[in-house]
């Protein structure tokens, strides 16, 4: 079983979500497809899922999912978990970060000076 951390972003807003789960799928695309199918089944077959669809204004996305599953697997709606399990998605949780949480430092920011240099 593979541990996934899938980054999803909203371009232009500085908003990201990190979807974390375990699955036996070998590709992230397959994980997202299985996740989408599980959530759709949950939305069609449970009152909680239908209510969440209505609250999303008809565009249930990763932000809505983060509210359903929280930032720890034990926080997920109990009615959603069996649908995730059936789809091969385990221990799902979502961390979200808004523009206030993202510092904006470049990925290649130097974090260590040359050893034994005068800057140390």
pLDDT tens, position by position, 70-120: 766 665 678 899 999 999 999 999 998 876 655 556 666 777 777 875 655
| Contact call for residues 95 and 18 (beta carbons, < 8 A) | yes
- Give the model confidence (pLDDT) of 42-66 as tens digits: 999 999 999 998 998 888 999 899 9
* Residue closest to 82 by CA, chosen among 46, 51, 55: 46
Residue found by looking up tokens 């204004």 in the block: 57
DSSP line for 46-80: -HHHHHHHHHTTT---HHHHHHHHTTSGGGS-TTT
């Amino acid at each position: 079983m593979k541990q996934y951390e899938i980054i999803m972003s909203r371009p232009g807003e500085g908003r990201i979500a990190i979807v974390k789960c375990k699955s036996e799928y070998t590709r992230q695309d397959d994980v997202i497809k299985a996740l989408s199918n599980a959530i759709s089944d949950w939305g069609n077959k449970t009152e909680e899922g239908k209510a969440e669809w209505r609250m999303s204004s008809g565009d249930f996305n990763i932000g809505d999912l983060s509210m359903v599953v929280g930032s720890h697997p034990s926080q997920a709606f109990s009615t959603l978990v069996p649908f995730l399990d059936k789809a091969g998605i385990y221990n799902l949780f979502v961390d979200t970060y808004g523009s206030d949480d993202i510092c904006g430092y470049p990925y290649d920011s130097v974090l260590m000076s040359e050893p034994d240099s005068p800057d140390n």
